[in-house]
């Protein structure tokens, strides 16, 4: 149930992760697993996409994979 969620997918939460270290889309999705946020897969993808568009993080390739990151 949504009331059991212990993680919230918010812009501030994403910002904190991306300031700490570069992350791939998969890394981010792991931080906001549906079973922890109570969101559906589709909601998670849509909300995370909107947040990333707003944050407009820097991008770099590490080991062939695109990573996002932010500087303070």
Partner 1 sequence: SSSEADKMAAALEAELNDFM
Which position has the token pair 């904190």?
Answer: 16
Which CB sits closer to partner 1, 18 or 48? 48
Each residue 12-41 as x (binds partner 1 by CB under 8 A) or -, in order, gives: ------------xxx--xx----------x
CA geometry: angle 61, 72, 6, nearest 5 deg = 85
- Which H or E element spans position 61? strand 58-62
Residue from 52, 55, 69, 70 in contact with partner 1 (CB under 8 A):
52
CA 52 to chain centre: 8
Which residues of the shown chain bind partner 1 in the complex (CB under 8 A)?
24-26, 29-30, 41, 44-46, 48-49, 52-53, 59, 66
């Amino acid at each position: 149930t949504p009331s059991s969620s212990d993680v919230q997918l918010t812009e501030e939460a994403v910002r904190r992760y991306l300031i700490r270290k570069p992350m791939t889309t998969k890394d981010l999705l792991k931080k906001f697993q549906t079973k922890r946020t109570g969101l559906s897969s589709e909601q998670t993808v849509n909300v995370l996409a909107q947040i990333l568009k707003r944050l407009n993080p820097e991008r770099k390739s590490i080991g062939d994979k695109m990573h996002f990151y932010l500087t303070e």
